[in-house]
Structure 1
């Protein structure tokens, strides 16, 4: 039976409808939600279009007796920590952070994919190839899928990422402005900043997806203990995640409109970004292989000491199939 989860009296509050959160992007409070007999499930996510599906969960949760609380966070590391401490139940987050967490013994597991792509290798106007990055100042988020792909891309072009470029740690949201000011020469970043830069005249230096890890980026994660203790709850949430993701996949206009309302992004930017995002929820054989390759590359690049077994990183028992 679905159990009732108690919430700590922190800043985590419920959202009653998408329209209630549209202006601020913050969850709004509805104290009755936790007292009406429904199960309260908290989901961490980030302010990016490829992590928007969590805001749609509530539309499918009522029939299952679930009230969803969406908790916006700054990055996947914060989400991992929130999962580990039990502050949230689920998280739409970067797959590399899940792998890193598992390698360090943290109790986290992928139960579905979330989105592929949503990344870009963007440079100043006139940059036409990876070779143009030699000697450049390149921004990245340490430990992200973009950093892994950037390093692999540079190495494939014969450029040593540790000596022939200057890697600069920078948050996703700051990258497009930093490039526009000339503080950096390029960045390996995420949407919507990639599209903002492209519309402002910057260059897509090269595809960031032509490596062993492909487009793998975002997944739905849960504490492994919750998956073991309450598999019915996890199954129900994964089913809802699949429904929400498919609804967005089938209606791109509604997806763009929802993201625009939630986060106040420019529509032209979102239309550009949507062409660089592939929403998904499955854990196909190919996807699992890419996650394995990602773990191996993280070892080779020194991000983790040892790649965890794939069965420790994810489970396919809750997804509906390929």
Structure 2
């Protein structure tokens, strides 16, 4: 009898141990599965008509993140300055900004990497001068107040334009965000501003373009909007980052296959006409993944492209203008630009 009881106790103990072990294993497995994806993804973006905006408005991101079962949120930033602060604090995971703010992020040690070039800037950005201001050439800007968001691609192009004309010390530059520029323009506080669409379109209702970023690019002053990701995030979720890049690529494909439809979707989001949106979209160069990986731009893993040299040249100029304390080295830029996720997205 005692032997039978002992046997039952022993069997019960074994069963309890098995159940506990299975419970622990199940708990670990559940935690592991939950840990393979973030609880939420926060995306900083600019309200500009680019591939990201197409993917946002055409539900490309909805499809991607809903299939993953991961909530996501788009958070608008007026410039890369605030986006960099958010990246540094960890409150956003991805951010779109001008390449000049990408340089500032690297120079300040923010733990991020560049994973995509949204568009090479052209007619979408420029120096507007007010009708009736009698400004028709660079020298007419002497003594004028010129507004631009500091540390932006517009600021960089403007500085180069003024330096080329030899008047960089004969104008007053004002640091304004895009909404402030429009307000100052309408009040009559300024007659000139270097900014981007759609703000640029507001200014040209009563003004003309003196020089565009397309003109500056022909002179070797290349600017672009880029996408950065926190390295802690990309190291933990590389497949998700590759999927995010694929969404950007899909947005570009949608635009190339049906520009009118893409422009209509973007226009509804931005509150502008389809024709205006299309004009802005054709005012920049949208790169395919193959072009991104080419020697002229990001290059491939282990073979940095020319965009890294452009970033270095831009950083050297920003340092000479005291916009940054120290320009990162060429090697740092080569490591900062990471084409791995584009390569992964194409497999």
The alignment's TM-score, normalised by the length of structure 2, stands at 0.74
| Deviation for aligned residue 1:159 | 1.0
Q: How does 1:242-261 map to 2 (within 5 A)?
A: 242-261=249-268
Question: Is the radius of gyration larger for structure 1 or structure 2?
Answer: 2
| Deviation for aligned residue 1:147 | 0.7
The partner residue of 2:312 within 292, 297, 321 is 292
RMSD between aligned residues = 2.6
Relative to 1, partners in 2 of residues 1:62 and 1:208: Cα closer, same or farther, differing over 3 Å? closer
3-state secondary structure, aligned to 2:42: strand
Q: Equivalent residue for 2:64? A: 61
Q: Is 2:4 aligned against 1:3?
A: no
Deviations 1:116-144 (A, max 9, x none): 21311111124322222121110011111
3-state secondary structure, aligned to 2:95: strand
The partner residue of 2:338 within 312, 315, 319 is 315
Relative to 1, partners in 2 of residues 1:285 and 1:176: Cα closer, same or farther, differing over 3 Å? farther
Relative to 1, partners in 2 of residues 1:96 and 1:203: Cα closer, same or farther, differing over 3 Å? same
User: Structure 1 unaligned runs (5+)?
Assistant: 7-39
Q: Is 2:280 aligned against 1:276?
A: no
Q: How does 1:100-111 map to 2 (within 5 A)?
A: 100-111=104-115
Aligned residues: 286
Q: How does 1:57-136 map to 2 (within 5 A)?
A: 57-61=60-64, 65=68, 67-117=71-121, 118-125=124-131, 126-136=134-144
Q: Equivalent residue for 1:206? A: 211
Q: Equivalent residue for 2:159? A: 151
Q: Do 2:65 and 2:72's aligned partners in 1 also have CA atoms closer than 8 Å?
A: no
Q: Is 2:176 aligned against 1:170?
A: yes
> 1: distance between equivalents of 2:163 and 2:313?
16
| Deviation for aligned residue 1:295 | 1.7
The partner residue of 1:222 within 202, 215, 229 is 229
